[in-house]
Amino acid sequence: MTKFTQEAMVAMLSDFKRFIPQLSINCVIFRFNGQELQVPIVQPIQDEIWVIPGGFVYQDEDIDDAAKRILYEQTQIDLPILGQFGTYGPADRNFASELSAFKNSILPSDIIDWISQRFVTIGYYSILNRQPVDLKTGPLFKNGRWVNVKETDTLALDHSLLVSEARKVLGSELLSKPLLLSFMPPTFTIPELQKLYEAILDRPIDRGNFRQRILKSDILTKVGVSKEKTKSRPPILYSLDEQRYLNSLTQNIKLGF
Amino acid sequence: MTKFTQEAMVAMLSDFKRFIPQLSINCVIFRFNGQELQVPIVQPIQDEIWVIPGGFVYQDEDIDDAAKRILYEQTQIDLPILGQFGTYGPADRNFASELSAFKNSILPSDIIDWISQRFVTIGYYSILNRQPVDLKTGPLFKNGRWVNVKETDTLALDHSLLVSEARKVLGSELLSKPLLLSFMPPTFTIPELQKLYEAILDRPIDRGNFRQRILKSDILTKVGVSKEKTKSRPPILYSLDEQRYLNSLTQNIKLGF
DNA sequence: TCAAAAGTGTTATAAATACACCCATGC
DNA sequence: GCATGGGTGTATTTATAACACTTTTGA
């Protein structure tokens, strides 16, 4: 088993000459499960560390396409990429020594040399609204799971920083970009939506005021009543009026000092 | 003269082995001259094109440091970098054929091969508040000048796009980042400040309301009256209260849908 | 004394905030 | 019937926006 996965790793990385050198991509994918904001992390076959999905860019490939491909290869999540949150390139950013597969030299030396270089990484983020129960991973990874963004401070390499930076950008874009279209399922309730806002903004919001404002903004259409078993009054189901939602985003440039 | 500058170019680029390959940096520097928002552009010695400052990253250099160094080498502007506005990497992003110095093969072939590769570029922006009357340039450039950001749609390569993207980011950060500290001189008038806001937001603002709100926010300290010759009532001079300004920026996260 | 630009005040409307109160369900 | 969470209304404060009026200067 271990032998096979080592071979798989060699096969996968041995076309490294087709990649742009010293440049990598990392992806932070957000999901809201109704309660908390989560991101997927994966575990390489040769290591016990947890990292966010990441990889390299083929010479003839757009960097945005690379992000989408890498995400799919490592998590089987097929998702349009929404944006970048930053590019990171400290002079000493090389991590080969922290990866046991490379540290223990089970790979050809030319690959080790290639991967041991200093890398600049481009951070991409996106949002997943349908949630597979388990996270499948590609051949180079042995495990994948969803974790609360609040519990990502023990990731390997500089990946805790990357998640934290992606989260900041997400928060600043909640007001100006159509994130709800990506986060929410076709129908949802107002209390669910409020929990998403509270998770992203990381602060409590008054129930009554939230409901009042979101209804006045006229971006929701009532579609019925939740049929899920509740231990209290069943909430009303809404869907997002895409056109009105998109319109409401553009006209929010205030002065604010 | 032309011979010398060709030699200078060869000398400058021949240490290309010390650079990270296929990765470049571009800088958009904003300045407000009291009337309009401007950016510096430069003209390479061998070409008639105008571009924004740009260059490459040394192997042992942070990418942020590279941005600062490149800016200084090409414009003699010594300025802390404020941030990135994006990283651009379409698969066909290679521009050697558009640069006559490379197109006409006056350079060694290994340099031409190196520069002819596909490049990913990291976009950096910053803000200059002191304004040298002329723009000096480094040895690889024959001209430099400040232009209105509204007149940057004829730059070479993809640099018009880069300026446009940097400008978008600037606008979205006016409310949340301390841009005024960088833009404004130690003392200024409220009408001047209003012109800056109008230039960045690209829309007119009511005089009375602007003054009222900026004064109520309590970030300005009166320091006297302008002594410049005016053809009307002389405006009051203010300075920015840095502490109060920084405080006022943090507490502006509204819901806004 | 007039034009030009700076500085001030008034009013109407809309938004943000803090609550109190009622409703539907499961146990 | 009562705990739980969903849904609604109201009153206060604050922000936004439109616009009229006054002041100071140079010509």
Q: Kindly determine whether residue A62 and residue B120, on different chains, have CB atoms separated by under 8 Å.
A: no
Query: Which residue among A22, A64, A219 places its CB closest to the CB of B257?
Result: A219
Say what the pLDDT of residue A140 is.
79
Using a CB-CB cut-off of 8 Å, the residues of chain B touching A214 are 257
Place A228 in a pLDDT band, splitting at 50, 70 and 90.
confident
Distance from the Cα of B194 to chain A's closest Cα (Å) equals 11
Say what the pLDDT of residue B107 is.
76
B251 contact to strand C (CB, 7 A limit): no
Question: Which residue of chain B is at minimal alpha-carbon distance from A173?
Answer: B172
A191 contact to strand D (CB, 7 A limit): yes
Higher pLDDT, B16 or B207: B207
Place A236 in a pLDDT band, splitting at 50, 70 and 90.
very high
Q: CA at B169, C1' at D17: how many angstroms apart?
A: 27
Q: Kindly determine whether residue A89 and residue B57, on different chains, have CB atoms separated by under 8 Å.
A: yes
Using a CB-CB cut-off of 8 Å, the residues of chain A touching B90 are 62-63
- If residue A6 lies in a helix (H) or strand (E), which one and from where to where? helix A2-13
Higher pLDDT, B37 or A45: B37
Distance from the Cα of B30 to chain A's closest Cα (Å) equals 20
Q: Is the pLDDT of residue A146 over 50?
A: yes
Lowest-confidence segment of A23-32, A55-64, A243-252, B146-155 by average pLDDT? A243-252
Q: Is the pLDDT of residue B172 over 50?
A: yes
Place A81 in a pLDDT band, splitting at 50, 70 and 90.
very high
Average of per-residue pLDDT across B26-33: 96
B194 contact to strand C (CB, 7 A limit): no
**Nearest residue, CA→C1' of C23:** A233
Judge contact between B202 and B182, C-beta under 8 A: no
Tell me: the pLDDT tens digits for B92-107? 999 888 887 677 767 7
User: What mean pLDDT value characterizes chain B?
Assistant: 88
Judge contact between A108 and A14, C-beta under 8 A: yes
Say what the pLDDT of residue B8 is.
66
Average of per-residue pLDDT across B21-47: 93
Task: List all nucleotides in chain C with at least one atom under 7 A from a protein Cβ.
Answer: 3-10, 15-20, 23-27
Q: Kindly determine whether residue A57 and residue B89, on different chains, have CB atoms separated by under 8 Å.
A: yes
In chain A, the percentage of residues whose pLDDT exceeds 90 is: 62
Tell me: the pLDDT tens digits for A46-55? 888 999 999 9
Average of per-residue pLDDT across B116-134: 89
**Nearest residue, CA→C1' of C15:** A213
Q: Classify burial at A25, counting beta carbons within 10 Å of its beta carbon; exposed 0-12, middle 13-18, buried 19 or more.
A: buried
Say what the pLDDT of residue B251 is.
57
Q: Is the pLDDT of residue B173 over 80?
A: yes
Distance from the Cα of B154 to chain A's closest Cα (Å) equals 24
Residue type, B251: Q
Place B108 in a pLDDT band, splitting at 50, 70 and 90.
confident
Nucleotide nearest to B191 (CA to C1'): C6
Q: Is the pLDDT of residue A107 over 90?
A: no
Q: Kindly determine whether residue A87 and residue B89, on different chains, have CB atoms separated by under 8 Å.
A: no
Can you spell out the DSSP letters for chain B? -HHHHHHHHHHHHTTGGGEEEEEEEEEEEEEE-SS-EEEEEEEETT-S--B--EEEEETTS-HHHHHHHHHHHHH-------EEEEEE--TT---GGG-HHHHTT-S-HHHHHHHTS--EEEEEEEEE-S--SS----TTEEEEEEEEGGG-TT-STTHHHHHHHHHHHHHHHTTTS-HHHHHS-SSEEHHHHHHHHHHHHTS---HHHHHHHHHHTT-EEEEEE--S--SSPPPEEEEE-HHHHHHHHHT------
Q: Kindly determine whether residue A213 and residue B257, on different chains, have CB atoms separated by under 8 Å.
A: yes
Top mean-pLDDT range of A86-90, B1-5, B42-46: A86-90
Question: Which residue of chain A is at minimal alpha-carbon distance from B198?
Answer: A255
In chain A, the percentage of residues whose pLDDT exceeds 70 is: 88
Nucleotide nearest to B232 (CA to C1'): D25
Q: Is the pLDDT of residue B1 over 50?
A: no
Say what the pLDDT of residue B227 is.
76
Question: Which residue of chain B is at minimal alpha-carbon distance from A19?
Answer: B22
Task: Enumerate the β-bridge partners of residue B214.
Answer: none
Nucleotide nearest to B194 (CA to C1'): C6
Distance from the Cα of B252 to chain A's closest Cα (Å) equals 7
Q: CA at A220, C1' at D17: how many angstroms apart?
A: 28
Place A6 in a pLDDT band, splitting at 50, 70 and 90.
low
B232 contact to strand C (CB, 7 A limit): yes
DSSP state of A77: -
B168 contact to strand D (CB, 7 A limit): no
Cα–Cα distance measured from residue B57 to residue B76, given in angstroms and rounded to the nearest whole number: 18
Q: Is the pLDDT of residue A186 over 60?
A: yes
Using a CB-CB cut-off of 8 Å, the residues of chain A touching B91 are 59-62, 65
Say what the pLDDT of residue B257 is.
53
Nucleotide nearest to B237 (CA to C1'): C6
The owner of tokens 């021949």 is: B14
Q: Is the pLDDT of residue B254 over 60?
A: no
Say what the pLDDT of residue B132 is.
67
Place B121 in a pLDDT band, splitting at 50, 70 and 90.
very high
